[in-house]
Amino acid sequence: MAVIQYAPDVELIPTKSMRKIITLVEEEKIEQGILPIENSTEGAVTEVMDLLIKTKKSKIQREIILPVRHNLLSTGDDISKLKYILSHPQALEQTREYFIKNYPGIELIPTESTSRACEIVKQKGEEYAAIANEWAAKNNGLKILDKNIQDNFYNQTRFLIIGRNHEKPTGKDKTSIAFSFHNDFPGSLYMVLKEFAEREVNLTRIESRPAKSEMGKYIFYIDFIGHIEDNHVKEILENVEKITNRFKIFGSYPMGKIE
């Protein structure tokens, strides 16, 4: 649904995992890929964060914010026959109360993606169902057994479009970076945040993830208003790079609006 909203005429290439999407972009086998990065109910999609930090060619080119509309999809048309529900872990969490209330005996099974869940359901038969959007139902030839099963009606997901080219400034841009420190010391994170505060640059998101090296080591992810070609942003990033160990710019891109 997100990619259709962004570019309705592009050729769609489904993949079985988020890792595969990034790999195809990195290997120049596709021009762009789309990834969920955070949800208003469940927070960050940590798998994507951990994958993006390892990229070498991929740049964030755009963001799309969409309301989440989960549907129950199956080959059959009788909900009472369902025994297994498959979907991405985020989709399962966003519909958990629905199943606890209505179908507590059904087993929830995580998959790499909603697309993969639909593929499995097509193969397994009417005891299986997937949680996905209406487009997935049509694309996979599945029936919609129930619509809008998300627990939070105001649920939204932010998606990133990645490619290999930098985006030019539009005047309403956002930049995403990540960094870690040589050794943590009192005030280390403050020194970074101070660079933004002194230049009155608004941070729209800050997250941390384990560095996966040793206990207590973290990688910090920051989104902020501005473009890397803006002079004040250049100054900030130059100073941040000096006081950090690992430093990565994911890209600057037009700010998304809720569709």
159 is catalytic: yes
Amino acid at 176: S
Query: Counting runs of H as helices and runs of E as strands, what totals does the chain give?
Result: 9, 13
157 is catalytic: yes
CA dihedral in degrees (136, 140, 143, 146; nearest 10)? -20
Residue 109 sits at φ, ψ, to 5 deg, of -120, 120
Residue 94, SS3?
helix
- The two three-digit tokens of residue 9, written as one number: 């005429």
Task: Provide DSSP, 146-190.
Answer: ES---S-TT-EEEEEEEESSPPPP-SSEEEEEEE--SS--TTHHH
- Residue of 159, 220, 224, 250 marked active site: 159
- Residue of 157, 181, 224, 244 marked active site: 157
Helices (H), ranges, 96-230: 96-102, 114-124, 134-140, 188-198
Active site residues: 157, 159
